[in-house]
Amino acid sequence: MNSAAGSGPARPVHEKNLSADWNPESWQNFPALQQANYPDPQALHSALGKLADLPPLVTSWEILSLRDQIAEAQAGKRFVLQGGDCAESFSEVCSPLITNRLKVLLQMSLALVHGLQMPVVRIGRFAGQYAKPRSADLETRDGVTLPSYRGDLVNAFEFNEEARIPDPQRLLQAHAYSAMTMNFVRSLVDGGFADVHHTEYWELGWLEHSPLAEEFNKLTDSLGQSLRFMETLTGRDIGSLRRVDFFTSHEALHLPYEQAQTRQVPRQWGWFNLGTHFPWIGMRTADLEGAHVEYFRGIRNPLGIKVGPGMNKEWLAGLLEKLNPGRETGRIVLIHRMGESKIEDHLPRLIKAVEETGSPVLWISDPMHGNTESTSDGIKTRRFRKIMNEMELAFEIHRDSGSRLGGVHLELTGENVTECTGGARDLSEEDLKRDYKSTVDPRLNYEQSLELAMLIVRKHNQGK
Ligand code: PEP
Ligand code: CO
């Protein structure tokens, strides 16, 4: 199956289960949902050819390191924080937006490390989160029908024909923008931006006016006085903590794009998606007989699977069997997104279903996607109270089921936007009109994100 046969580390038992008929394009023999229709197949072919020649965005050893860290999270030794935009856009690949997003993730992880007393795995929804699933292929406005916006990877948001026709050049642009984002994140982290001795670098201008300022400042003071506690917790010296890791993730929706980034590497067996560390599969494309599941089963990256209320026992068990036949640890992260009104009805049965399979998974909670609603003015929003309730219920349900919630998956930004209502400043529906920037789902703003991190700590430690 691969040219690196015989070299490198021993292969796990499951490799013999990988059918010999898998290859990066075998998904093409299965029905693929949510794909773009390009009017010029030749232009698509040549863009994909170029993409396949470009250098990768991440490395196999980073991917394997993330797998190890997810395995540790499964064992209760780490907590996963996955967050970022619902959809990145090309126009927002700029320095302040990237640094602010990094700052909020760093601050949240600091609150989590401190409060949970365990290392945090930081995974950004960035450097490639450019494709979106849509409920319809076409959108009609005032009698004009055009292809739906599928994310900057495919077409542009503006509602005119030129913008909405899928453009294969965007695949190359997305790769370049992802590389720029990665490059900047890596340089910031390497340059000391993420140094835990200098949390002042992570401050955002508006923290001092925030109702949360006092709580957060107490936390950083206490960290400043006792950096040594981390040494004890992680078993590593303080020096190595100067550098914190960031991993990338995106929904691997656009299969030709993912295929072009799927490679073999020297001294490793198998195939890796080198376009991201952690691809996830949405429920809309998680059909057991579909192209996405076929693609995902053949790559060695750790995989996220979104799990909603419509998932049943057989489907979930089937996914685990196909995607992790060798029952390896660190391979599967189940991201449940139920909605606060449905989580109590559906999560317990799904936890039980997974337990019956005996397959190891990490459960993390996405309290965003089941709680989207529209205001009377037709603005898409989420209420902070519902997000918080779902997250708190997730902790309780896992605890009551003898399972463990090992992380959270959030849509957030480091900007002071007004997209979700509620939170410490109690944003109202009226406030949404002030600073609403998202073209897709509403995100937690900086303060709401930090507040949620503090609530996660409180809830996690309850009943410990
Ligand atoms: C998303 O994560 O942006 C998304 C579309 O989620 P879901 O597939 O869970 O609705
Ligand atoms: Co979203």
Express each pLDDT in 339-365 by its tens digit.
999 999 999 999 999 999 999 999 999
Instruction: List, for residues 81-92, the tens digit of each pLDDT value.
Output: 999 999 999 999
Q: What confidence score (pLDDT) does residue 214 get?
A: 79
Structure tokens at 377: 């003015």
Q: Quote the Cα angle for 232-234-235, to 5°.
A: 65
Q: How many A from CA of 93 to the centre of ligand 1? A: 21
Q: Give first-to-last CA distance, the chain, whole Å.
A: 47
Give 445 Cα–ligand 2 centroid separation in angstroms: 14
Distance 225 CA to ligand 1 centre (A): 40
pLDDT digits (tens, 9 = 90+) for 24-36: 999 999 999 999 9
**Can you tell me which atom of ligand 1 is nearest the CA of 409?**
2
Average pLDDT over residues 290-316: 98
Distance between Cα 369 and ligand 2 center (Å): 6
**pLDDT score recorded for residue 221:** 73
CA–CA separation, 226 and 109 (whole Å) = 16
At 462 the pLDDT is 83
- Nearest ligand 1 atom to alpha carbon 337: 9
Complete domains list, the chain, with CATH: 19-462 (3.20.20.70)
- Is residue 19 very low, low, confident or very high in pLDDT (cuts 50, 70, 90)? low
Closest ligand, as measured to the CA of 443:
2
Length of the chain: 464
Calpha distance 185→183 (Å, rounded): 6
In this prediction, residue 244 carries a pLDDT of: 61
Minimum-distance ligand 1 atom for the alpha carbon of 129: 3
Kindly give the number of the ligand 1 atom that is closest to the alpha carbon of 335. 9
Q: Are strands 138-141 and 144-147 parallel, antiparallel or unpaired?
A: antiparallel
What radius of gyration, in Å, describes the C-alpha atoms of the chain?
Answer: 21
Let me know the angle formed at the C-alpha of 9 by 234 and 297, rounded to the nearest 5 degrees: 90
Residues with CB under 6 Å of ligand 1 are 86, 133, 282-283, 306, 337, 369, 441
Q: How far apart are CA 238 and CA 246, in angstroms?
A: 18
Closest to 130 measured CA to CA, from 5, 248, 289: 248
402-408: average pLDDT: 98
pLDDT tens per residue across span 234-257 = 666 554 444 568 999 999 999 999
User: Which region among 5-9, 61-65, 128-132, 278-282 has the lowest average model confidence (pLDDT)?
Assistant: 5-9
How close is the Cα of 138 to the center of ligand 1, in Å?
19
| pLDDT of 189 | 84
Question: In three state form, how does the secondary structure of the chain look?
Answer: CCCCCCCCCCCCHHHHHCCCCCCCCHHHHCCCCCCCCCCCHHHHHHHHHHHHHCCCCCCHHHHHHHHHHHHHHHCCCCEEEEEECCCCCHHHCCHHHHHHHHHHHHHHHHHHHHHHCCCEEEEEECCCCCCCCCCCCEEEECCEEEECCCCCCCCCCCCCHHHHCCCCHHHHHHHHHHHHHHHHHHHHHHCCCCCCCCHHHHCCHHHHHCCCHHHHHHHHHHHHHCCHHHHHHHCCCHHHHCCCCCEEEEECCCHHHHHHCEECCCCCCCEEECCCCEEEECHHHCCCCCHHHHHHHCECCCEEEEECCCCCHHHHHHHHHHHCCCCCCCCEEEEECCCCCCHHHHHHHHHHHHHHHCCCCEEEECCCCCCCEECCCCCEECEHHHHHHHHHHHHHHHHHCCCCEEEEEEEECCCCCCCCEECCCCECCCHHHCCCCCCCCCCECHHHHHHHHHHHHHHHHCCC
> How many angstroms separate the CA atoms of 377 and 228, rounded?
52
Average pLDDT for the chain: 90
This prediction has a pTM of 0.92
Considering only CA atoms, which residue is closest to atom 6 of ligand 1? 369
Ligand 2 centroid–CA 249 distance in Å is: 13
154: closest CA among 134, 141, 169?
169
Residue 306 Cα: closest atom of ligand 1 = 9
pLDDT digits (tens, 9 = 90+) for 144-179: 999 999 999 999 999 999 999 999 999 999 999 999
The rounded distance, in Å, linking the Cα atoms of 428 and 246 is 33
Residue 183 token pair: 């490059």
187 versus 274: which is more confidently predicted? 274
pLDDT tens-digit profile of 189-204? 887 777 766 777 776 6
Q: Give 418-463 pLDDT, tens digit per residue.
A: 999 999 889 999 999 999 999 899 999 998 999 999 999 988 888 6
Ligand 1: nearest atom to the Cα of 282: 8
Task: Tell me the ligand closest to 370's alpha carbon.
Answer: 1
pLDDT in tens, 332-342: 999 999 999 99
Distance CA 226, CA 451 (A): 23
Which amino acid type is present at position 157? F
Q: In sequence order, which residues have a C-beta less than 8 Å from that of residue 211 and are 6 or more positions away?
A: 424, 425, 447
What percentage of the chain carries pLDDT values higher than 70? 88
Cα–ligand 1 centroid distance for 282 (angstroms): 6
Cα-Cα-Cα-Cα dihedral of 442, 333, 31, 271, to 10°?
A: 120
Region of 77 please: left (phi>0), alpha (psi -120 to 50) or beta.
alpha
Question: Given pLDDT bands bounded at 50, 70 and 90, which one contains residue 401?
Answer: very high
Q: Give bridge partners of residue 248 from the DSSP assignment.
A: 124
Return the closest-CA partner of residue 406 out of 75, 158, 172, 83.
75
In ligand 1, which atom is closest to the CA atom of 284? 8
Mutation pick for ligand 1 pocket among 86, 365, 413 (CB with most ligand atoms within 8 Å): 86
Q: What's the pLDDT at 110?
A: 85
- Nearest residue CA, atom 1 of ligand 1? 86
Angle of CA points 446, 450, 456, to nearest 5°:
145
Average pLDDT score over residue span 85-114 = 92
Residue 1 has pLDDT above 70, yes or no: no
Question: How far lies 18's CA from each of 30, 31, 295, 332, in Å?
Answer: 17, 20, 12, 16
- The residue contributing the CA closest to ligand 1 atom 10 is 369
Cα 330 to middle of ligand 1, angstroms? 22
Distance CA 214, CA 129 (A): 34
Rounded distance from Cα 222 to ligand 2 centre (Å):
35
pLDDT at 125: 98
Residue 188 has pLDDT above 90, yes or no: no
Mutational test site, ligand 1, from 34, 135, 251, 253, max ligand atoms within 8 Å of CB: 251
Question: Cα(457)–Cα(434) distance, rounded to whole angstroms?
Answer: 31
